[in-house]
Amino acid sequence: MLGTAPYSGAVPSHEETLPLSRPTAPGDTGFRAFVPERRFHPTVAFSPDGTLIAYSTNVSGQFNLWVTDLAGQARQLTDYTENAVRDVAFSPDGTTLVFAADHHGNEQHQLYLVPVGGGAPERLTDTPDRQFDLAAAPFSPDGRFLVHTGNDRDERCKDVILRDLRTGGSSRIETTPGLWHACSVSPDGRWLLVLRANGNTDTDLHLVDLHRPDPVLTPVTAHEGEISHRSGPWTADSSGFHLRSDEGGEFHALRLRSLTGETTTVDAPGWDVEGVVGSRDASTLAWLVNEGGVSRLRVRRDGVDVPVPDLPAGRVLALDLSADGTRAAVLVCTATRPTDLVIVDVEAGTATYLTDSRPPALLSTPVVRPEPITYRTHDGLAVPAWLYRPAGEGPFPFLLSVHGGPETQERPDYPYSGLYQYLLSRGIGVLAPNVRGSTGYGKGYQRRIHRDWGGAELGDLEHAVLHLHDSGVADPARIAVFGASFGGFAALSCLSRLPGYWAAGVSVVGPSNLVTLARSVPPTWRSLMASWIGDPDTEAEFLLERSPITYADRIVAPLMVVQGANDPRVARAESDQIVEALRGRGVEVRYDVYPDEGHGFTDRANEIRALNDVADFLVEHLLRA
- Could you read off the pLDDT of 599-609 as tens digits, one per residue? 999 999 999 99
- Report strand pairing: 284-291 vs 272-278: antiparallel
Q: How many CA atoms lie within 13 A of 42 on its CB side?
A: 9
Question: What pLDDT is recorded for position 5?
Answer: 29
3-class secondary structure per residue, 274-336: EEEEECCCCCEEEEEEEECCEEEEEEEECCEEECCCCCCCCEEEEEEECCCCCEEEEEEEECC
Question: What pLDDT is recorded for position 530?
Answer: 86
Q: For 442-455, what is the mean pLDDT?
A: 96
Sign of CA dihedral 419, 424, 428, 432: positive
Q: For 275-292, what is the mean pLDDT?
A: 95
Q: Angle at Cα 491 formed by Cα 487 and Cα 493, nearest 5°? A: 115
Q: Is the pLDDT of residue 3 over 90?
A: no
Rounded to whole angstroms, the Cα distance separating 360 from 418 reads 11
Rounded to whole angstroms, the Cα distance separating 500 from 556 reads 9
Q: For 202-217, what is the mean pLDDT?
A: 95
Q: Is the pLDDT of residue 29 over 80?
A: no
Longest dimension (CA), the chain: 74
The pLDDT tens digits for 500-541 are: 999 999 999 999 999 999 998 888 888 888 889 999 999 999
Confidence bin at 123 (pLDDT 50/70/90) = very high
Q: For 74-79, what is the mean pLDDT?
A: 97
Q: Which residue intervals of 123-264 are DSSP H helices?
A: none
Domain assignment present for 594: yes
What Å distances lie between residue 587 and 196, 479, 557, 618, CA to CA? 45, 18, 8, 16
Q: How many CA atoms lie within 13 A of 512 on its CB side?
A: 28
* Spatial CB neighbours of 308, under 8 Å, sequence gap ≥ 6: 297, 298, 299, 328, 344, 346, 349, 351
Among residues 160, 162, 185, the alpha carbon closest in space to that of 173 is found at 160
Question: What pLDDT is recorded for position 199?
Answer: 87
* Spatial CB neighbours of 191, under 8 Å, sequence gap ≥ 6: 185, 207, 208, 209, 210, 234, 238, 259
Question: What pLDDT is recorded for position 19?
Answer: 26
Note the pTM of the prediction, 2 decimals. Answer: 0.92
Q: Are 350 and 308 in contact (CB under 8 A)?
A: no
Question: What pLDDT is recorded for position 526?
Answer: 83
Domain assignment present for 120: no
Q: Is the pLDDT of residue 467 over 60?
A: yes
Confidence bin at 26 (pLDDT 50/70/90) = very low
610 φ, ψ (degrees, to nearest 5): -60, -45
Confidence bin at 10 (pLDDT 50/70/90) = very low
Q: For 544-561, what is the mean pLDDT?
A: 97
How confident is the prediction for the chain on average, in pLDDT? 93
Strands across the sheet containing 218-219 = 179-185, 191-199, 202-209, 218-219
Question: What pLDDT is recorded for position 354?
Answer: 96
Q: Is the pLDDT of residue 560 over 90?
A: yes
Domain assignment present for 75: no
Tally of structural domains, the chain = 1
Q: For 287-294, what is the mean pLDDT?
A: 97
Question: What pLDDT is recorded for position 522?
Answer: 86
Rounded to whole angstroms, the Cα distance separating 17 from 564 reads 14
Question: What pLDDT is recorded for position 624?
Answer: 80
Domain assignment present for 509: yes
Question: What pLDDT is recorded for position 23?
Answer: 36
Q: Is the pLDDT of residue 469 over 80?
A: yes
Among residues 321, 371, 382, the alpha carbon closest in space to that of 346 is found at 321
Domain assignment present for 586: yes
Domain assignment present for 230: no
Domain assignment present for 507: yes
Among residues 602, 521, 598, the alpha carbon closest in space to that of 562 is found at 598
Q: Is the pLDDT of residue 625 over 90?
A: no
Question: What pLDDT is recorded for position 28?
Answer: 56
Question: What pLDDT is recorded for position 22?
Answer: 34
Q: Is the pLDDT of residue 13 over 80?
A: no
User: What percentage of residues in the chain have a pLDDT greater than 90?
Assistant: 90
CA 334 to chain centre: 16
What domain range includes position 454?
Answer: 366-622
What Å distances lie between residue 214 and 167, 186, 190, 210, CA to CA? 19, 18, 13, 8
Confidence bin at 281 (pLDDT 50/70/90) = confident
Rounded to whole angstroms, the Cα distance separating 496 from 611 reads 23
Per-residue burial over 21-46, b = 16 or more CB atoms within 10 Å of its CB, e = otherwise: eeebeeeebbbbbbbbbbbbbbbbbb
The domain spanning residue 534 has which CATH number? Answer: 3.40.50.1820
The pLDDT tens digits for 362-385 are: 999 899 999 999 999 999 999 999
Q: Is the pLDDT of residue 276 over 90?
A: yes
Amino acid identity, residue 264? T
What Å distances lie between residue 360 and 24, 25, 369, 586, CA to CA? 8, 9, 18, 40
